[in-house]
A and B are shown apart, each in its own frame.
Chain A
Amino acid sequence: MMRAISRKTFASGSVLLVASSAAEAASTTGGIAGSYRWVTFLVFASVIALTMYVTYLSAKRVRSTEDFYAAGSSITGLQNGWAIAGDYLSAASFLGIAGLISIYGYDGFMYSVGFLVAYITVLLLIAEPCRNLGKYTLADILAYRNDPRKTRITGALSVITVSTFYLTAQMVGGGVLVKTLIGIDYEVSVVVVGILMLSYVLFGGMVATTWVQIIKAALLVIASLVIVCCVWMPYGFSLPAFMQDIVLDGRIQSRVVALLGDSGKTMSAVELGQRFLEPGLLFKAPIDQISLGLALVFGTAGLPHILMRFFTVPDAKAARKSVIWATMIIGGFYMLTLFLGFGAAKLVGPQHILAVDAGGNMAAPLLAQFIGGGPESLLGNFMLAFVSAVAFATIVAVVAGLVLASASAIAHDLYVGVIHSGDAVPAHKQVLAARVATLAVGGIAIAIGIAAKGQNVAALVGLAFAVAASANFPCLILTLYWRRCNTTGIIAGMVVGTTVAVGLTLVSPNLTYPLAVRSAASKVLAEGPAKRALIDAALASEDVSVRDKAVRDAGSLDKDLLKARADLIKVQGQQTSFMGLEKPLIALKNPGIFSIPLGFLAVLLGSLLSRDKRAEALWDEVQARRLTGLFTSQSSGH
């Protein structure tokens, strides 16, 4: 399915953008100059050394399964808040959102808003019950009152599905990013990311993973604060003054003309600049934006690696405190994306950002380089290296969290819970199982990363959120808050939610449709000679500014033609998408608006159409323990 996901999703921006095959072509323009390689290696080595030292310290503390999966429930609320931020602020949100704002303005910022508002759902409905009822995994909550065997299998499969989508996007995104930034081979970067991540998780389990998240979140916040201070200081930290300059910027105005097409040609320069601060440049279909918003807000509460973080704290109070800190850090960071994105648009220019990477992912690194003094300066290269190291740490840390979540689903839910039916498996055997599962998941992640080279996997992040929102979220909410919910409902909800979300995505415009690609590319090639003639005429002009513009136009025309030819070769001999369709069946890129209600409906119907004595008998216990925190599973309790 990887092959089928369209590279066009970048331009359409319906999903978060991490990887881009365009970045590979442009790797020479965005990276660090050869003479400053040593700066890069120094900065990367320091960051890796720090995380390795933390792993070394943590490894001594990991003895039991409780330590491996949940850091012995000994993490404080403040620490967990930072770790949640570290787990959540993936390269997609750090580089992706800054990039989207820099090339689409207002609409890019809507991602920031959705990602943050999601934490209200986590806090009010999910965090405390999970801490009070669960032990290590999402399936622990589902299996509490429902048939443990059946719900553990469905729960574990769903965790593995969501994590795999997310993981693939991170691995491929990471490989491309590291290649673009520091110029090592794609395969080498994927293997390095994989081995580093494995060494944290294998030796240090949740303890090391938590501390790597904390370090990474702190580095991310520091890097962003420094950049934003440099960007905003010249305006005396006045928001209107900063925004005024965005509106008046010539490059931003011409970017808006390019986005609007004919309708933009009648607008004045200031109107065009102002348009960059208004909605509608990225999201063309209203329903798509609402659909995406719903998936972000409910999906977060169903992401296994985020849920897992609540088992690392001792009690409900600490779980609440973690969310408070997490919303402060995550919200503060997303606020900064406004300046990172608009700052990059102003100082680097949307055209240059797009030229380096079609998804805009290089906006923040390029901005850092500019602030340091540009590509020729030592400080500029140091800043670029620092931001790159942070981005690298981000990918490794997020991948570590995802691998741990999948490994716990395999070792704790499937191996201990299902194969041994929950019978006492000796502790050392459980830890061994967890490590074997980690190794297997890590190996698979590396293999998928290499196999998916050059594919656009951006749609997978959106899909991970959609499945989490449509399957995991309805099941969790209803088993926690609805007396009548039972095993059949949970299985129905998981199956329907996942199938509808994945199914709608497979017939959506997110996939590559060779006929459409071919006709678009042919159109570009057919219009080429006429455009070339116009440019040649302009090149002969007396006016210097006309000639300069013509030189730039000639450059972008060459690029468009090259891309069109490459596209034609790529879809050669193909007529239909991966699913055998000539064109998308639905116009919707984000399935949430249908798949979330259907997921809920499936749990409701499945539960109402069957009786489950155990689920009903355990309702009182679930209620009492959810609210009082009695017998919460934690190391201090035994």
Chain B
Amino acid sequence: MSAKSIQWSAVVQDVRFIALHQRKSRFAWSLMAVSLAYYLTLLIAAAYFQDVFRLKVWGVLNVGLLFALSQFVMTWFITIYYVRTANRDFDRMALAIADDVRSGRIGAA
């Protein structure tokens, strides 16, 4: 079986595919929006709200430094959260669809 012999329109209309597509897109794009907003806040605040960044919080450590360091934590959190969800749910859903395509249950010409 090759990619050419599959009816791809039938695959993308499969209910399970639509479910996978919707869930994964919504999940990935909302994580993208959240992380981008968080990062842009740092850029904009570093430029326009330097008074806030100067406030000392922990010894000489100020809001600006802690906010910059928190971007690392944010990045790790988003990466782990996404990968865990993808490994747990998306892979299983994708595999089920792929198996059906390979065995000709969906998308057979």
Q: Which residues of A contact B (CB under 8 A)?
A: 106, 109-110, 113-114, 116-117, 119-121, 123-125, 239-241, 243-244, 246-247, 274, 277-280, 283, 286-287, 289-290, 293, 297, 316-317, 320-321, 323-324, 327-328, 331, 334-335, 620-621, 623-625, 627-631
Contacts and interface: CB of A to CB of B under 8 A. Distances in A.
A620 B9 contact: yes
A114 B46 CA distance: 13
- Name the interface size band of chain B: 35 or more
Given A117-B35, A297-B39, A331-B72, A286 B79 contact: no
B68 A109 contact: yes
A124 B20 CA distance: 15
B92 to A, nearest CB: 11
Across the A-B interface, give the 6 residue pairs with the lowest CB-CB distance, nearest first: A240-B59, A286-B47, A620-B8, A621-B8, A279-B46, A293-B43
B53 A629 contact: no
Contacts of A335: 69, 72
Contacts of B76: 327-328, 331
Given A113-B68, A120-B31, A243-B61, A627 B42 contact: no
Given A125-B28, A286-B48, A629-B94, A113 B72 contact: yes
Nearest to B96: A628
A125 B27 CA distance: 11
Contacts of A297: 36, 39
Interface of B: 2-3, 6, 8-9, 11-12, 17, 20-21, 24, 28-29, 31-32, 35-36, 39-40, 42-44, 46-48, 50, 53-54, 56, 58-62, 64-65, 68-69, 71-72, 74-76, 78-80, 82-83, 86-87, 91, 94, 97-98, 101-102, 107
B39 A293 contact: yes
Nearest to A625: B3
A619 to B, nearest CB: 9
B30 to A, nearest CB: 10
B79 A119 contact: yes
Contacts of A120: 31-32, 35-36, 75, 78-79
Contacts of A113: 39, 42, 68, 71-72
Given A320-B86, A335-B72, A124 B8 contact: no
Contacts of B20: 627
A317 B42 contact: no
Interface centre among B20, B46, B61, B97 (most CB of A within 10 A): B46
A479 B6 CA distance: 21
B11 A240 contact: no
Nearest to A326: B79
A508 B79 CA distance: 36
Nearest to B31: A124
Contact of B64 (A124, A277, A628): A277
A243 B35 CA distance: 28
B59 A629 contact: no
A290 B43 contact: yes
Contacts of B21: 623, 627
A279 B58 CA distance: 17
Given A121-B32, A243-B61, A621-B3, A627 B24 contact: yes
Nearest to B10: A620
A274 B60 CA distance: 7
A287 B47 CA distance: 8
A630 B39 contact: no
Nearest to A278: B54
Contacts of A243: 59-61, 65
A637 B77 CA distance: 34
Nearest to A620: B8
Q: Which of B24, B59, B60, B72 has the most CB of A within 10 A?
A: B60
B2 A631 contact: yes
A323 B79 contact: yes
Given A247-B60, A286-B48, A623 B43 contact: no
A623 B68 contact: no
B83 A324 contact: yes
A631 B11 CA distance: 14
A316 B102 CA distance: 18
A274 to B, nearest CB: 6
Contacts of B94: 316, 627-629
A40 B45 CA distance: 45
B45 to A, nearest CB: 9
A119 B75 contact: yes
B84 to A, nearest CB: 10
Given A240-B58, A243-B60, A628-B11, 18 more contacts: A113-B42, A113-B71, A117-B39, A119-B79, A120-B32, A120-B36, A125-B32, A239-B61, A279-B53, A279-B64, A289-B47, A331-B76, A623-B8, A627-B21, A630-B3, A630-B6, A630-B102, A631-B3
